Amino acid sequence: MAKVYVVGANGRMGKLICELVCETDGLELAGKFDVDNIEQLDEVAPAADLVIDFSQPAALSHVVAFVRRTGAALVCGTTGLSQDDLAQIQSLGSQARVVWSSNYSIGVAVLRRLSVEAAHALKDWDIEIVETHHKMKLDAPSGTAKTIAEQVGDEVGRPILAHSMRGGTVAGTHEVHFFGTDEEITFTHRATSRRIFVAGAVECGKRLLTVEPGFYTFDDLMF
């Protein structure tokens, strides 16, 4: 039975992750951490097999220190991270099994792949990304929109803009628009529940426990 710690356990995603871990064969919820007790990860918390972190950038140093101390596998879905933060996560791959993704939905992964493929064929078209989330989401554009923009931008050799809208309880909608002369193509992914991201993150965690230490992408583990 793999012991799992959830960081960001008081948030919407964290609560769902805790529920699914408890329902998943082979996993045991051994600890929950958030702003009120995150410092316990530094020295007090005993070793665990897996950490699933959907918290805030401020918690990253504690998570990184714990992984370095214990060698626990890490599934990180925290967004709003700086390039230095991401470099820290990647460096953990030298001693532990680590995956970071801005989005753990299989559907979004397919959206990214389709968008890059379309960009390859439509390099001269105008391309815009629009993302919509609930009004409580802190980062804008979303980490997913940034990732798509970066990958499409690399393909076409120019920056791609990502536009944000916030309102209501929208779980997450991402649209990638390709505008040509007298024609338009749009790819849309619409999430109706956060459970799709939770299911992907927990599945990534299970697969991460079966591989060698290293830094992995969502696509590495799922495709």
For the annotated catalytic residues, the residue numbers are: 133, 137
The answer to whether 166 and 192 have CB atoms below 8 angstroms apart is no
Q: At what angle do helices 106-121 and 195-208 cross, to 10 degrees?
A: 90
As a whole number of angstroms, the distance between CA 175 and CA 177 comes to 6
Q: What tokens were used for 174?
A: 């991402």
Q: How far apart are CA 44 and CA 190, in angstroms?
A: 41
* Residue 182 burial (CB count, 10 A): 4
For residue 89, what are the contacts with CB-CB under 8 A and spacing of at least 6?
60, 64, 74, 76, 81, 98, 100, 215
Q: Can the peptide bond before residue 159 be classed as cis, meaning omega within 30 degrees of 0? A: no
